[in-house]
A = this chain, B = another copy of it.
Amino acid sequence: MSVTSAKGFRASGVAAGLKASGNPDLALVVNDGPLHAAAGVFTSNRVKAAPVQWSEQVLKGGTVAAVVLNSGGANACTGPAGFQDTHKTAEEAAALLDVSAAEIAVCSTGLIGVRLPMDALLGGLKTGTAALTADGGLDAATAIMTTDTVSKTAEAHGSGYTVGGMAKGAGMLAPGLATMLVVVTTDAAVEAEALDTALRAATRVTFDRVDSDGCMSTNDTVLLLASGASEVVPDPAEFQLVVTAVCADLARQLIGDAEGATKDIAVEVVNAASEDEAVQVARAVTRSNLFKCAMYGNDPNWGRVLSAVGTTDARFEPDRLSVAINGVWVCRDGGVGDDRDLVDLTGREVTVTVDLAAGGSAATVWTNDLTPGYVHENSAYSS
């Protein structure tokens, strides 16, 4: 289960020497067709890394022959020289694969504000091209890891076709679109426009609804490539469900591997006046450091949930708000509810339910607890 699960794709992951550790740091995903349709969503951060600026242009054409991904450097805030590095990467990959550079997407992840060692990267491209295989998906998923502790892959099946994918991301996880580096592939025969529709529908309810630390990256990219190798033209509704299943699986893995986390927390908002308001309220809770610290301490501190809800402009009456933690309604109608000692927070998975009593809409946003481990990891990352 990976980017090579679907027919028509090859992949590789090699150590190009970008990481001081010597671990794999360069991945290639090649679409052997017959179709080369592609769609992408990118960070909405206005400070965009060079590879994002490049790939956004490539995706406008709706055609991607290959994706080059590197860890060991984000190539963000590197100025015109950094953009030239991305351009050169695409040109070199295009030459090696005998395609047009305008069909090469590039993704980078790692430290911001550092130029990539281009000699090492271009050398790695040659090695990586030679290593391409139809079962190289796991190697590719491994090569894009940064602070990830495990590689992340997924697979799901439609009627006669396959969708597979890989993701990296453990910190700086907050959406606005996308949230990390993700490549999803399919052997279904789907044109670029329909891919785009399916991908946006899928990311809206998956990657856009994980928020580990409220920090939006400069490099977030989610790509969906179709080879058409199954020769199956899928039902659009089913295709969207299958793509969503793969994205949901990967998104859940990102939360499960978030930096320093000891809890995976689903903040579920129900009875909202609209889905947008449900998301707004859920996001306010997921971004409350005090709430996240309480979760780390196994403390069902519902007051911190309510104080976060109160910062939003969603429709609700404060004295009709109710909150359940792992199924125990510790707050009812804006006041004290059931005994908080009934709440069992010893497991890794936590569900916080906020009832706005304002309508019929709902949404869930996933987050993590805030831990000393998160602080340690992110205070030492670049040193």
Contacts and interface: CB of A to CB of B under 8 A. Distances in A.
Contact of A299 (B48, B112, B303, B382): B382
A301 to B, nearest CB: 5
Interface string A265-301: 0000000000000000000000111100110110101
Dominant secondary structure of chain A at its interface with chain B: loop
Interface in A202-238: 213-218
A111 B378 CA distance: 30
Interface string A46-66: 111000000000000000000
B379 A288 contact: no
A293 B45 contact: no
A289 B114 CA distance: 21
A311 B378 CA distance: 20
A171 B336 contact: no
A294 B310 CA distance: 30
Contact of A215 (B113, B288, B302, B377): B288
A296 B48 contact: no
Task: Please tell me how many copies of the chain the complex holds.
Answer: 2
Given A112-B304, A216-B310, A333-B79, A380 B172 contact: no
B333 A378 contact: no
Contacts of A321: 47
Interface string A112-128: 11110000000000000
B318 A46 contact: yes
A174 B214 CA distance: 16
A178 interface: no
Interface residues of A, number: 66
Contacts of A172: 290, 307
A112 B372 CA distance: 24
A177 to B, nearest CB: 12
A356 to B, nearest CB: 12
Contacts of A290: 171-172, 213, 215, 378
A331 B113 CA distance: 8
Interface stretch (A70-78, A96-104, A245-253): A70-78
Interface of A: 45-48, 74, 76-79, 81-82, 111-115, 171-172, 176, 213-218, 287-290, 293-294, 296-297, 299, 301-304, 306-312, 318-319, 321, 331, 333-336, 370-372, 374-383
Given A46-B311, A218-B306, A294-B381, 15 more contacts: A45-B310, A46-B310, A46-B312, A77-B335, A78-B336, A79-B333, A82-B335, A171-B290, A172-B290, A176-B311, A289-B370, A294-B382, A296-B375, A299-B382, A372-B376
Sorted nearest first, the 4 A-B pairs with minimum C-beta distance are A112-B303, A297-B379, A47-B310, A79-B335
